[in-house]
Amino acid sequence: MTHPRDVLLGAQAQAGFLPVCDHYSGVEVRMRKSLQLQAEMTEEFGTCVFDVTLDCEDGAPVGAEAQHAALVAALARDAAPGARVAARVHPVDHPAFANDIATIVGEAGHRLCHIMLPKVESVDDVLLAEKALQAASAGRLPLHVLIESPAAVHRAFEIAAHPSVQSMSFGLMDFVSAHGGAIPASGMTSAGQFTHPLVVRAKLEIASACHAHGKVPSHCVVTEFSDTAAMQSAAHRAAFDLGYTRMWSIHPAQIRPILAAFAPAQNEIESAAKIIAAGAGADWAPISFEGVLHDRASYRYFWQVLERAHQTGQALPVAVQPWFAPTCS
């Protein structure tokens, strides 16, 4: 039987389904602990529920960028089988960018799930990164891009349309500071980033651009990592108010609240499974299910509920389990 993903999603399936949490670390001991935690939680949930992005931009000591890139390459290369490991490199106009790509991608490109490219201002930056990946013999490695300025937000739809871009993230801190004091510091807080009109507008533009082109919108950080309530509230609002399907974590304590916020409720999962199973049994023709008409439009929605359940490690009904691999790789 044809896989529901192929039948229902079309071009949207090209971006793939990413774990809902993207966890960042840049100090060696924390990078190692992040990879170990990923392995432990993969065992716990039966699927890889978060990516680990090894950070060169903020993690590399000034003057030791080359050594840090070599460390990131070694950690990615030696990661456990099935691990989802990415690297955030320096911006394309930084002196360390070329070496980051040559070292990390050249030595460990086969183990990477994507490259995160910060401070993307236009498609020209994406083209430069794409060219560097091709030179490192990794031209098909997906790019995740970080949108951090008003001008970049303006070009979000054009950037999202590029075929190498798999996901777009919002860089809250740089975006606020780029306004020269016009946005107060409160715009960077867990509460203020959901109330200041310019910040909210930027988030919505990025989410809309991603959905228009079948890409994954990834929500920014919450810096108050010790405030569990703030983290849970921010993750819930990102998922349900702003249309984000992925979110950054900068502390291990943030990972589980993100998973919980982005996970569908159990009754939603059960209903979605019944509708998808019935639709598959009808070869995706319209059906009446419990007195309600369903066709490919609603099948698509309910399939995405199941995908999100799988990404967050939720138990899936037996009827739909064969469509999901036991682990992500």
For 239-277, what is each residue's pLDDT tens digit?
A: 999 999 999 999 999 999 999 999 999 999 999 999 999
Give the C-alpha separation, 150 to 4, whole Å: 38
Give 31-89 pLDDT, tens digit per residue. 999 999 999 999 999 889 999 999 999 999 999 999 999 999 999 999 998 899 999 99
What pLDDT, on the 0 to 100 scale, is given for residue 266?
A: 94
DSSP state letters, 17-46: ---SEEEEE-SHHHHHHHHHHHHHHHHHHS
Tokens 């990879």, residue? Answer: 35
> 255: which 2 tokens?
């990972």
Torsion of CA 69, 71, 74, 78, to 10 degrees: -130
User: 313 vs 178, which has greater pLDDT?
Assistant: 178
Q: Which pLDDT score is estimated for 224?
A: 87
Q: Domains of the chain (ranges plus CATH)?
A: 21-262 (3.20.20.60), 265-323 (no CATH)
The answer for residues whose C-beta is within 8 angstroms of residue 21's C-beta and 6 or more apart is 49, 50, 51, 246, 247, 248, 249, 254, 255, 258, 259, 262
How far is the first Cα of the chain from the last one, in angstroms, to the nearest whole number? 23
Instruction: Give CA–CA dist 297/105, Å, rounded.
Output: 39
> Is the pLDDT assigned to residue 14 strictly greater than 70?
no
Q: Is 115 helix (H, G, I), strand (E, B) or coil?
A: strand
